Amino acid sequence: MLHLTGSPQTQINGYILGKITRKPKGFTQRGDYIFLTNGEKPAHGYAAVFTAELLPDKSIAAVLCDPQELSRLHDGDIVEVHNDGRINILYESSSDHNTLLVTERCNGSCIMCPQSLVSREEDKTPFTLRIISLIDQKAQVLGITGGEPTLLGDGLVRIVKACKERLPHTQLALLSNGIRFEDFDYVKELMLVQHPGLIIDIPLHSDTDTEHDKIIGVKGFHKTIKGLYNLARFNQKIGIRVVIHRLNYKRLPQLAEFLYRNFPFVFHIAFMQMETIGLARENIDRLWIDPHDYNEELREAVLHLWRRGMNVSIYNAQLCALPRDLWPFARKSISSWKNIYLDECEKCDSRGDCGGLFESSLDLHSQYLKPIRKQ
Ligand code: SF4
């Protein structure tokens, strides 16, 4: 999530949520919008006004912002403003990587979790529903993530329902650890929403319960497996995700065989380079392996699945650290707001095809990164 800083001219109670516009809106619509103005246009009735110059009218919820910060905002972005001046960009209209963080609670404790989690929180469902009501209906894809979204119970069902009604043409990608889907009745409730564009991505970290459970920090392997089958009974489109690190790279070929034998119905399998923030960074001594050093196991796993007709991808990888025969599987998967390239990438002939790195990988990445020259 991108953050900006402003300076509220008036007291903000709680927070203000609104959609960015530079074009003036009719008075009855204004409550949904945050207006960007140079102070010349009338600005009453908006949820807030972002301005580079002080406004004389103190009855307007104005937030003074640096013009450079304002230039990072686009019409259709959805932002949350706090009294301390923090501005969180919750939805970027120009990005295909928008994700709603619907809860920061989780029923797992993954050793490489990039999120910071909480044990208690206020129900964020009303807030999420409000964001959904502001999203442009032309949005192509929307992610739902946490924490663990299924901990919202009925709240998640309401969120998926709201997406179906408000954004009928938007693909919805739900990321879940799948543990809650062991409950058939809950799966049924979610499936009865009949969202036509719902994809559920579920991580599996190993083909063995011991290794998987050691990574997620709870006994969840058998529940997730049961959840996968419950979802399959409704023909739900399912993706499997495998985050690779030192604890699980050796058994990638066995995991591939396990996936092929037991889940031939999944529509996609993604092998992912680990993002080194949050708990992953705290546990880095146990987790880190240079991505180049697991290429052999990755190749065997990917080609094993591909030869058997499975749809398989590699996420978050840099082309120069991947064997050439795996390049067709590499996808540009890192969200735009945390995607970087190194200075030497400017000399690389494959920069346009390469997905680059996570911002958090600046100080810790493969030692084998170097510009590719095509001659
Ligand atoms: S040098 Fe940079 S752009 Fe080129 S393949 Fe490597 S990481 Fe990608």
Contact 349, 373 (CB under 8 A): yes
357 within some domain: yes
Ligand 1 centroid to residue 308 C-alpha, Å: 30
Ligand 1 centroid to residue 349 C-alpha, Å: 8
Roughly what angle, to the nearest 10 degrees, separates helices 125-134 and 154-166?
10
Ligand 1 centroid to residue 374 C-alpha, Å: 13
Quote the CA–CA distance of 121 and 159 in Å, as a whole number. Answer: 18
Contacts of 19 (CB under 8 A, 6+ apart): 32, 33, 34, 76, 77, 78, 134
334 within some domain: yes
Residue 296 shares a structural domain with residue 325: yes
Cβ(318) to ligand 1 under 6 A?
yes
Q: Determine the atom of ligand 1 nearest the C-alpha atom of 372.
A: 4
Range of the domain at 276: 99-361
The whole-number pLDDT of residue 1 equals 75
The whole-number pLDDT of residue 42 equals 63
Confidence grade of residue 201 (pLDDT, cut at 50, 70, 90): very high
Residue 131 shares a structural domain with residue 157: yes
Candidate from 353, 372, 373 with most ligand 1 atoms within 8 A of CB, to mutate: 372
CATH of the domain at 350: 3.20.20.70
pTM, rounded to two decimals: 0.92
Ligand 1 centroid to residue 74 C-alpha, Å: 29
Residue 146 shares a structural domain with residue 76: no
Cβ(319) to ligand 1 under 6 A?
yes
Mean pLDDT of 244-252: 97
Quote the CA–CA distance of 77 and 168 in Å, as a whole number. Answer: 19
203, pLDDT greater than 90: yes
Residue 56 shares a structural domain with residue 108: no
Q: Specify the amino acid at residue 375.
A: Q
Residue 11 shares a structural domain with residue 123: no
Q: Determine the atom of ligand 1 nearest the C-alpha atom of 348.
A: 4
Ligand 1 centroid to residue 345 C-alpha, Å: 5
Other residues' Cβ atoms within 10 Å of the Cβ of residue 5: 12
Quote the CA–CA distance of 88 and 361 in Å, as a whole number. Answer: 23
Candidate from 345, 349, 358, 361 with most ligand 1 atoms within 8 A of CB, to mutate: 345
Question: How many structural domains does the chain have?
Answer: 2
Cβ(350) to ligand 1 under 6 A?
yes
Confidence grade of residue 59 (pLDDT, cut at 50, 70, 90): confident
Give the tens place of pLDDT for each residue, 325-369.
999 999 999 988 889 999 999 999 999 999 999 999 999 999 999
Please state the separation of Cα 173 from the chain's center in Å: 9
The whole-number pLDDT of residue 40 equals 64
Cβ(292) to ligand 1 under 6 A?
no
Residue 71 shares a structural domain with residue 103: no
